[in-house]
Amino acid sequence: MKTNKERYKQAFSNLQMPKPVDLKEETMNKKTKMILRPAIAFSLAALLLGGSALAYATDAGGIRTKVNGWFGGQERNVEAVSNGDIGYEFYDPETGEYIGGGGGVSFDAFGNEIPMDAQEVFDQYSTQVEKKEDKYFLHLYENSYEITDLLHPGKTIYVQGKGNGIIHYAKITLDPDGSISSSISTEPKIEADSYQKLQ
pLDDT tens for residues 106-165?
A: 889 999 999 999 999 888 888 899 998 889 999 999 999 999 999 999 999 999 999 999
Cα–Cα distance, 171 to 157 (Å, whole number):
6
Whether residue 181 has pLDDT greater than 50: yes
This prediction's pTM: 0.60
pLDDT, one tens digit per residue, over 53-75 is 444 344 345 678 899 999 888 89
CA dist list (Å): 176 to 44, 153, 181: 64, 5, 11
* Dihedral-angle region of residue 115 (phi above 0 means left; psi in -120 to 50 means alpha; beta otherwise): beta
For 40, the enclosing helix (H) or strand (E) is: helix 30-59
Q: Grade residue 15 by pLDDT with cuts at 50, 70 and 90.
A: low
